[in-house]
């Protein structure tokens, strides 16, 4: 009987990965196949290494739905660190219905799996959800392809200030964003989803950050950035449907900046 109970415990207990196992997590069968198929564009291992992510860190991911990085970071941090999923500000009445639904789907997907039972859910966004983690508690704040969304709502300054508040002195803000050509107007950035590096750096520095390094890990020189539906013309959105589909599939996902900022000691 004891051996039966032990087998059941092992069967239903989530795996525990060590510091050396990030690659194993990325290639694990627990990941959603559609997410794993995007690794060739998103380069998760190289990106997280560039941001200096360690398994004993407290890490905040901003707007994590639908959970691409949750499936990597939550297991990686589960034993020694902490993963904050700073989701949409659903407690605020101005949050669009589709974001409320996306948040609900995110919770439904991850709340039932013991692999994610140490995830801490917080909120990020207007009107008042500016505490993504306890002040000066986070080693890393990470955001992937979100700055253009905040620009559309005109609250990017508040978001960067919230990140600065959450990070420990010496902590790192990691930003991946669709990259516009230099000189692109703010209106065009909002319309297209592509943002200039200069604008992201300006917002981060205004909040108090210092640019520490840039990486070309998520660059895509095939992306001309002049598509009819902006960044959403490209995969995975493919907003034009079958129109020039093979052309856009050949380009792949967008050209992206990968920037590392530090909160001064």
Could you list the beta-strand ranges (E) of 132-243: 138-144, 167-178, 210-215
> Can you read off the two tokens belonging to residue 58?
């407290």
pLDDT at 15: 62
pLDDT attached to residue 254: 98
Q: What is residue 92's predicted lDDT score, i.e. its pLDDT?
A: 84
**pLDDT at residue 10, rounded to an integer:** 39
**Which secondary-structure segment (H or E) carries 119?**
strand 119-124
The pLDDT value recorded for residue 22 is 94
For the chain (265 residues), the mean pLDDT of every run of 10, in chain order, is 41 53 94 97 98 97 98 96 96 88 94 93 95 98 98 97 98 98 98 98 98 98 98 98 98 98 97
Q: At what angle do helices 197-207 and 156-166 cross, to 10 degrees?
A: 50
Ordered strands of the 210-215 beta sheet:
119-124, 82-88, 58-62, 138-144, 167-178, 256-262, 210-215
* d(C-alpha 51, C-alpha 255), whole Å: 18
Distance (Å) of CA 207 to CA 66, 166, 175, 192, 194? 27, 12, 14, 25, 21
- Return the CATH class of domain 17-262: alpha beta
Looking at residue 170, its pLDDT comes to 98
User: What pLDDT, on a 0 to 100 scale, did the predictor assign at position 14?
Assistant: 62
């Amino acid at each position: 009987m004891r051996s039966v109970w032990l087998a059941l415990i092992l069967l239903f207990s989530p795996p525990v990965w060590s510091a050396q196992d990030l690659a194993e997590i990325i290639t694990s069968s627990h990941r959603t196949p559609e997410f794993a198929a995007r690794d060739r564009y998103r380069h998760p291992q190289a990106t997280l290494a560039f941001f200096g992510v360690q398994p004993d860190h407290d890490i905040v991911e901003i707007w994590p739905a639908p959970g691409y990085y949750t499936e990597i970071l939550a297991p990686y941090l589960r034993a020694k660190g902490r993963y904050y999923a700073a989701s949409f500000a659903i407690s605020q009445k101005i949050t669009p219905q589709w974001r409320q639904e996306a948040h609900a789907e995110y919770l439904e997907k991850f709340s039932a799996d013991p692999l994610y039972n140490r995830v801490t859910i917080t909120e990020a966004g207007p009107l008042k959800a500016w505490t993504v983690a306890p002040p000066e508690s986070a080693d890393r704040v990470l955001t992937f392809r979100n700055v253009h969304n905040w620009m559309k709502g005109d609250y990017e300054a508040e978001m960067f200030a919230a990140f600065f508040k959450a990070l420990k002195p010496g902590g790192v803000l990691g930003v991946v964003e669709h990259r516009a050509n230099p000189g692109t107007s703010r209106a065009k950035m909002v319309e297209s989803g592509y943002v200039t590096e200069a604008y992201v750096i300006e917002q981060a520095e205004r909040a108090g950050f210092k640019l520490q390094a840039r990486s070309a890990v998520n660059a895509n020189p095939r992306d001309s950035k002049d598509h009819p539906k902006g960044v959403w013309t490209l995969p995975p959105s493919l907003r034009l449907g079958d129109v020039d589909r093979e052309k856009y599939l050949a380009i792949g996902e967008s050209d992206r900046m990968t920037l590392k900022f530090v909160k001064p000691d």
